[in-house]
Amino acid sequence: MKVVFLDRDGTLIDESDDGKVDRLDKLAFKPGVFEGLRLLRDHGYELVIVTNQNGIGSDEFPWDAFQRVQDVFLDEMEKHGIRFFDVFICPHLEEERCECRKPAIGLVKNFLWECEVELEKSSMIGDRSTDVRFGANLGVKSFFLSNERFELEEDLREDPEVHVEQVASFSDAVEKILAENLKAGESA
Ligand SMILES: [Mg+2]
Ligand SMILES: [Zn+2]
């Protein structure tokens, strides 16, 4: 299967100023995501979220606060005809040095293998350099969404091994994925 891996916060929904989308009033969808995801779906891509959620399970960010928002997020997506094949969540803090926090690929290792993900047809969309590193670690092309909070780190821009393109919006990323999909289809 071909997959578009998606970051959640800052990519599909607004990033929260305090880093936690733990209340419904903080949930805001980014422009163009419903249309974009539907287009990807219609072109045969499976949609998979991979998200780092700092410290879920702590007093400041209990699991039920995360889940309440996530349920509404998924419901809203469903109303727009979008279903995710899977949602992978790293709930750890960076200092816990887990194997599942992006840019590590521990969360999706089994999935890649079990579902026979075609990496050359798959991609990653995110708003941080860690998303691009995650994509590079997977061996897929990444689309970095230009944004005010984070920059694409220079070593990634200049590394010939890292396949990354900086785009202005989610819709632009989708457009480029579909253009490449078309090219691949023609040469096949
Ligand atoms: Mg993000
Ligand atoms: Zn983790």
Residue 64 designated active-site: no
Residue 86 designated active-site: no
Q: Please state, rounded to an integer, the average pLDDT across all residues of the chain.
A: 96
CATH number at residue 7: 3.40.50.1000
C-alpha 25 – ligand 1 centre gap (Å): 18
C-alpha 186 – ligand 1 centre gap (Å): 33
Whether 3 is in a domain gets the answer yes
Residue type for 159, please? D
| pLDDT more than 90, % of the chain | 95
Chain length of the chain: 188
Nearest to 26, CA basis, from 38, 39, 13, 44 = 13
pLDDT (average), residues 172-185:
91
- Cα–Cα distances (Å) from 105 to 21, 75, 96, 179, in that order, read 23, 27, 16, 27
Q: From the candidates 7, 22, 127, 131, give the one annotated as an active-site residue.
A: 7
8 Å CB contact between 23 and 59: no
Whether 118 is in a domain gets the answer yes
Q: Which domain holds residue 90?
A: 1-15+37-145
Sign of the torsion angle spanned by Cα atoms 116, 106, 134, 62: positive
Whether 131 is in a domain gets the answer yes
C-alpha 126 – ligand 1 centre gap (Å): 6
Ligand nearest to the CA of 134: 1
Whether 88 is in a domain gets the answer yes
Question: Which residues make up the environment of ion ligand 1, defined by Cβ < 5 Å?
Answer: 7, 9-10, 127
Whether 23 is in a domain gets the answer no
Is pLDDT above 90 for 183?
Answer: no
Ligand nearest to the CA of 105: 2
114-157 residue pLDDT tens:
999 999 999 999 999 999 999 999 999 999 999 999 999 999 99
Report the largest interatomic distance among the alpha carbons of the chain, rounded to a whole angstrom.
54
State the total domains in the chain. 1
| Reported pTM | 0.96
Whether 64 is in a domain gets the answer yes
Q: What does the pLDDT read at residue 67?
A: 97
Whether 103 is in a domain gets the answer yes
Listed in sequence order, the residues at least 6 apart from 135 whose beta carbon sits closer than 8 Å to its beta carbon are 5, 123, 124, 126, 141, 142, 163, 164
- Cα–Cα distances (Å) from 113 to 1, 58, 88, 107, 162, in that order, read 11, 32, 15, 12, 22
pLDDT category, 188, cuts 50, 70, 90?
low
Whether 30 is in a domain gets the answer no
Q: What does the pLDDT read at residue 124?
A: 98
70-117 residue pLDDT tens:
999 999 999 999 999 999 999 999 999 999 999 999 999 999 999 999
Ligand nearest to the CA of 54: 2
C-alpha 178 – ligand 2 centre gap (Å): 31
Sign of the torsion angle spanned by Cα atoms 54, 55, 57, 60: negative
Q: Retrieve residue 162's tokens.
A: 């890292």
Question: Which residues make up the environment of ion ligand 2, defined by Cβ < 5 Å?
Answer: 90, 92, 98, 100-101
